Amino acid sequence: MTQTTVPVIFDLDGTLVDPAGGITDGIASALRAVGLPVPGQDLLHSMIGPKLSDALLNVAQVPADLLDEVIRLYREYYVATGIAQSRIYPGVREVLESFAAAGLPVAVATQKPQRLARTVLEHHGVDGLFHGIHGSADDESAVQGIPLGKTEIIAAALKDLDTQHAVMVGDRAQDVSGAIANGLDCIGVSWGFAPDGELEEAGAVAIVDTAEGLEELIGRMQAVHAAAMSGVTNDGNV
């Protein structure tokens, strides 16, 4: 069967949802609770997007023997307080509703724990608009084996969508690199947490500044794909 639409896979924090201090405040609270120094605001912001355990080890310099406790304290804060601090970026809800009305499949691929990602989307009342919500393991502490990275999470979303053709939308370099590793284009959004130039350097095919601009760009991509598919005959020859 010819695929006439190209599904869209979204990152979560910094793309769909503005954590609005819920993540950075939670990290700061957890670090203080175990007597560790709190990085400056710029470094805290740089921790939004990457896998939490990696960010804590590499940016906040959390000792490995304190990692599980810091993650536990952070999650405790985030569930109790942080989710309520978050908000959907302007125009994003309308874009998701428009895609749903048009029958365009959409999914989420985030390095946030999968169950928690669903809770955040449920809090904002948009979970039902997604074909699938994919994230990292729900138990981030004492990770055994090779943890899921963005590449593997995007691959899981593709498998769930039953396609190898999709477009990724994200705000950080790992969204772009994860998309490229799966053979996908990635659209960057400027309203997230990437430093200047990060998305371009990573290889994003375009950068959009508004949700309306994102919807327009994806609409143009869908039209180009549909036109290309209209030239494919039943036997697969163009």
Question: Which amino acid is present at 93?
Answer: R
- CA distance readout (Å), 75 to 4, 19, 47: 41, 14, 15
Sort 19 into a burial class: Cβ within 10 Å, 0-12 / 13-18 / 19+: buried
> Which are the catalytic amino acids?
11
Q: Which residue has the tokens 């939004």?
A: 48
Backbone angles phi, psi at 88, to 5 degrees: -75, 140
Structure token digits, residue 126: 């948009």
